[in-house]
Structure 1
């Protein structure tokens, strides 16, 4: 979260975020869980990857990551009311 926020604030370069995303991918690979969608730790790693893999030069990646982010929240059985409200509020002000 700290890295993603730092990137959004312009304090951390995308290369740092992508390097950290690679670390999270390694954690998923370690658990041989590329298709695992029940293990909470693997799902949290997937959320981290969604937050850290954006690239402002490729808007399609951002859209895919946002969609995947919400899907992973669903696998975690998160109440989607607040995340949806936050997304709507964010994009209304852009």
Structure 2
């Protein structure tokens, strides 16, 4: 089901199938936001949307999906996993083991 994000960005929402993975607002995942292009075309709306999203983050209404964490030494593997589409969320590089 497509929904419009604050400020007009389009986002595709789908029910989560994996209970073990952290989900976004109300057990749903957001996919397909072309934020960079939206920010270029609509800078004021993009800023307003970002402020609203950051408010939701601060209130605990949403949380980023962290797919994997890698040490700095594992950075090459992190890039390989991203290229192979083995990750479905953010990749975190930890500066210290």
| TM-score of the two chains, using structure 2 as the length reference | 0.32
Higher share of residues assigned strand: 2
> Looking at CA atoms only, which structure, 1 or 2, has the larger radius of gyration?
2
Higher helix residue share: 1
Q: Give the TM-score taking structure 1 as reference length.
A: 0.33
